[in-house]
Amino acid sequence: MTMLTREEIEKGLLENRNFPNGSARNAHAEALVGAAEAIGDRALFRTALDNLINAYLWSAESSKMLVPFARLLQEYDKDPGAFDRWEAHSLFWQFKWVATAISDSPEIPLESAVGWLDEMERRYRIAGYSERPVREAELWLADAIGQDDRAERAHRAWLAADRDDMSDCHACELNGQGAYAVLRGDDARALELWQPVLAGERTCAEEPHRLLATSLLPLLRLGRFDEARSHHVRGYRMARGNESLLPSIGKHIEFCALSGNESRGLEILSEHAAHMSPLVNVDDQMAFHGGILVLLRRLTELGHGQSPAVAYDGVPHTVSELYEVLRASSLEIARRFDARNGTTRVSDRFLARIEREPLVGVLPLGVRSTALPRSAAMVNAPAAAVVPAPPAADFEELVERARQAREQRHPAADALWAEVGVRVDARPEDEVDPLLAADVADQRALTAARSGAGNAAELLEAVRDRYRDLGQAERAALAELRLASAAAQSGAEPRRIRELLAVALKAAEALDADEPLRGRRIALAELSSIRVESYLRSLEAGPEHEHLHEPGQDHGHGELAAELGAFVAAYAQALPDLAAEAEEMLGRVALSQGEPERALPLLAASAARAVSAGLPWQAVDALVLRAGVLMSVERPEEAEEAARSALEHSAEVTEAETQGVVRLTLADILLRRVDAAAEAAEHALTAAHWFDQAGLTADGGAQARLVLARAYAREDRHADAAEVLQSTLPDLLEHGEGQAVSVREFLGDLLRQLNDSRAAAEQYLLAAEVAKGWEDPRPQAALAQAAAEQLSAARLDQEALAAYERSLELYRVTGDAPIAEVRILRSLAWMAPRADTGAAAWARARDLMDQAAGVLETALAESTETSEGRAAPQLRAELAQTWLQLAQVLDWRVTSHEQTGDEDGDEDSGGGEGSHRAEVDTEALRLEEIELTARAGDLYAELGPDHLGDRLQCVRYAAWTEQEIGRDEAGAARLSALIEEFRAMPEEVPEDLLERAQSALDSLRS
């Protein structure tokens, strides 16, 4: 094997520090230690050992750090003077990691673990460090071995000891303090301690990542569900795929299992299937697998034990099989800890964890997840068994409630009859009342008809005949009407449908005059005939009439409107609920004719009539439709009122889709208010849940999640918004090009807020690709520009350059976007010297700035020619900004030259092919800077008080540049004059602006 040189090892160490964490980085770091030791360079060997310890720390192999640390400690003991201040500090800092690694390694005897702790305490004392980290390490060791009194003493001593350079960061310390509170059963205290970290006030490399996961169950136990939801969505995004955070991933999986989100937990498990194999760090393995076991047990309880799970160690397993494998291996690890510690605490806590019961039925998370398949137990169970019904203590009472609900068309009727059916099926047939048996059969036939079952007509005919035999003529008449409706639904011939409708009407009219329901049966048959006849007329008119209706044109709707109007007039007093139904249809007819103002009072009247009839649930559809119409005619306050009424009246509605629609409507309306984002998010979240329940995840569920993401973004919850949007992105992309572009751009904006520049650029570029074929090139140009900015931020200069140039080309095609052109030209100017500081690059930067100024001057000239008064203020402000930025580029050139001490174009200067040697006249460039900034400041002054801050920036820049060339008094005079001018202004100048100006002057004179 060829021996590496010192230079190659140093290069390898630099590369290794930038490798992704994991086993590959660790193996490379191990090889570099061997290479450094082989060449006999002790300093390089120490650096390589330090690098290896850090590599192990940020991986699932952290327990391996003991060996390289021991070797590094030996190096220190041999020659402490060889370690500089930073190297010595790093060594003592790593003692804390090693103390944890020893405690987490069951193969290390307890005596050795205690010995290491004593050694840490001795060395810290000699080095003059506080005992604070030592007492924290003692706390966790004492807790693990069941010495609770010692743990409490160590806890008090930890908090009492002084903080110094060896103390953990505040975020990590607060994590530990809160974790100890949880162990003592005080969730509230833990969350209080964690708050600065969870709020982002205290952070580090792994915080708040770990605490967002750790806080999940305490939040659930305290009923703080909104926070738990947010911590999961935000925290999982931060922890996903991070090998050193596998215990946190396990906590997110456990949270999903205990909050009714088993499918989400299964998806997270699948994403981390590659980490399922045994880990070097067995404590991390037990923590990770513990969360998985909670999920697997829950899935088994739900009937999914025989479903396929992820592979383990390369072997496929079902859910139940994987549970047994992980449980056995985890308990084996726990027993090893118990044997080392002389207590069963580790295994006791582990068993208590994996046996936890759900803490909440279902906590909607907002993010999309694929629903679990129905288990065999659910598939084989009677349909009624899985339909929730209000409890009833007495069977006769239940039957009476079911019949009342049926007559009222109450939403709970289906569930009540389903429960009645279950109880009837459990009784011997000869003990069941024949009328009740017919009622149960009637409900089941109706359910079959609604679902379009092929045998629906046969079931309805049988029910009709049973009612006739029992002398229940009014029920038989209703069955006749349902036969006609089922025929229409199944696409029967119009003639046959009309025959059935006529039979149904005759059956209703033939009822005895003293039958209380005779009038209702007749009216219901008439309304059904009106509705179905309208459908049949449109069907018979042929496809040539199937087009959008133009406002003011009848298209056959006049006859339908007349029929509905007559029906309302005839039955408004006697049967207000049926009149309300007809009135809602009238409103829909008006909308189809393009007359929203005519539809609005009809929909309002329909809702009011239903509510006054004691059937508020019937008003929901009309109110939701009315809210949408009101938004379309820009009456948002009334729209919100209608949507809130719909939500209020939907309390007893059991149909999941309706519940979703009501909440999505209100959420969408609220999102248009500047002050209602939080409430909009709440309703959108619930809407998504209901759409999922209705099996409409990809449709209404996707739109609800889009509204939810926008509401989160409005609240600056960008991580939550991005996670929600990404989860449903494939669904949203199926809803047309316009939405595809819009949601990708929105996602790009969110990722930009999260400083994920590469991912943001990808979304902008994908959106631009979709918009490429559009007639208007401006959307594509704007997206390409946004992508270029993010590519530049990610230091992908070549890709950024291509995107900027494409955007510039598109904007120039439009001929009406000078400001966009200018901003791109300025960006290109800044990019020019970034990788190439030769003379040619500086010349290109100047040329691009000059081009930008030229574009603006041309636009200003055209603006002056085509409009009255002064030219567009925005163009003038951009021109001032261009002069200022050119001055800043010149400053960069001077600074670069002074730092390198080389002439432009030297071999070491990074000059490109077109570079040439040239002296840099730094004084001339400084003078030009002053002239440019002064010119920009004067232009900002002309633009008035809105640009006082910009003007201060220019004057301050000019003043400092004056000082650079030895003209201190001139610079101070510029700032003094501006301060006096500010103070003399009739308008009130912001106090902070004056303070900034005075501070700049004081600094200049100091």
For 755-792, write each residue's pLDDT tens digit. 999 999 999 999 999 999 899 999 999 999 999 999 99
Q: Which two tokens stand for residue 219?
A: 């939040």
Q: Are 89 and 165 in contact (CB under 8 A)?
A: yes
Helices (H), 79-131: 85-103, 110-127
Question: What does the pLDDT read at residue 62?
Answer: 83
Q: What is the pLDDT of residue 386?
A: 33
| Amino acid (one-letter) located at 451 | S
Cα dihedral 835, 841, 846, 848 in deg (nearest 10): -80
Q: How confident is the model at residue 388 (pLDDT cuts 50, 70, 90)?
A: very low
d(CA 176, CA 193): 10
Which residue carries 């840490």 as its tokens? 120
* Residues of the chain above pLDDT 90, percent: 77
140-178 confidence digits (pLDDT tens)? 999 999 999 999 999 999 999 999 999 999 999 999 999
Mean per-residue pLDDT for 90-99? Answer: 90
Which tens digits make up the pLDDT trace of 42-80? 999 999 999 999 999 888 788 889 899 999 999 999 999
Sign of CA dihedral 791, 795, 796, 799: positive
Question: Is residue 865 pLDDT above 70, yes or no?
Answer: no
**pLDDT confidence of residue 585:** 96
Per-residue pLDDT averaged across 396-425, rounded?
91
Burial class (CB in 10 A: 0-12, 13-18, 19+), 10: middle
Is it the case that residue 830 has pLDDT exceeding 60? Answer: yes
- 855: its two tokens: 């574009």
Contacts of 187 (CB under 8 A, 6+ apart): 181, 218, 219, 221, 222
Nearest to 681, CA basis, from 695, 693, 667, 692: 667
CA dist 928 and 931 (Å) reads: 5
pLDDT at 548 over 70: no
pLDDT attached to residue 553: 44
Segment among 685-689, 930-934, 994-998 with least mean pLDDT: 994-998
Per-residue model confidence as pLDDT tens digits over 559-614: 899 999 999 999 999 999 999 999 999 999 999 999 999 999 999 999 999 999 99
Name, in order, each residue with C-beta under 8 angstroms of 19's C-beta and a sequence gap of 6 or more.
25, 28, 55
883 vs 652, higher pLDDT: 883
Q: What angle do CA 331, 337, 339 make, to 5 degrees?
A: 100
Worst-scoring range by mean pLDDT, 379-393, 561-575, 814-828, 926-940?
A: 379-393
Reduced DSSP (H G I as helix, E B as strand, rest coil) percent helix, strand, coil of the chain, to 5: 75, 0, 25
State the pLDDT confidence band at 543, using cuts at 50, 70 and 90. low
Which has the higher per-residue pLDDT, 910 or 213?
Answer: 213
Cβ pair 557, 593 in contact under 8 A: yes
Q: Minimum mean pLDDT among 210-214, 535-539, 746-750, 954-958: which range?
A: 535-539
Q: What is the mean pLDDT of the chain?
A: 90
Mean pLDDT score, 78-96: 92
Q: Does 921 have pLDDT greater than 90?
A: no
pLDDT of residue 608: 97
Structure tokens at 328: 């056995």
The per-residue b/e assignment along 476-513, b for 16 or more CB within 10 angstroms, e otherwise, is bbbbbbbbbbbbbeeeeebeebbebbebbbebbeebee
| pLDDT tens-digit series, residues 300-330 | 999 999 999 999 888 999 999 999 999 999 9
Q: Mean pLDDT, to the nearest integer, of 385-394?
A: 48
What is the pLDDT, as a whole number, of residue 15? 92
The answer, yes or no, to whether residue 912 has pLDDT greater than 70, is: no
Cα torsion through 66, 72, 78, 84, rounded to 10: -140
Asked if residues 44 and 11 have their Cβ atoms less than 8 Å apart, the reply is no
Contact 472, 438 (CB under 8 A): yes
pLDDT at 554: 47
pLDDT(441) > 60: yes
CA-CA-CA-CA dihedral for 446, 450, 454, 457, to nearest 10 = 40
The more confident residue out of 431 and 880 is: 880
pLDDT confidence bin for 556, thresholds 50/70/90: low
Q: What is the pLDDT of residue 899?
A: 74
pLDDT at 578: 96
Sign of CA dihedral 440, 445, 448, 450: negative
Residue 137: closest CA among 113, 106, 105? 113
- pLDDT at position 340: 94
Q: Where is average pLDDT lowest: 458-462, 623-627, 719-723, 994-998?
A: 994-998
Q: Summarize pLDDT for 464-489 with one digit per residue, the tens.
A: 999 999 999 999 999 999 999 999 98
| 20 pLDDT higher than 90 | no
Phi/psi for 344 (5° steps) reads -95, 15
pLDDT of residue 499: 93
> Residue 60 has what pLDDT?
79
Provide the pLDDT for residue 387: 37
pLDDT > 80? residue 811 = yes
Among 575-584, 679-688, 718-727, 967-976, the range scoring the smallest mean pLDDT is 967-976
Of the CA atoms within 13 Å of residue 370, those in its CB half-sphere come to: 7
Higher pLDDT, 773 or 258: 258
Vertex 150 angle, CA 144 and 156, to 5°: 110
Higher-pLDDT residue of 687, 313: 687
pLDDT surpasses 70 at 750: yes
Residue recorded with tokens 């109110």: 623
Measured distance CA(249)–CA(254) in Å, rounded: 9
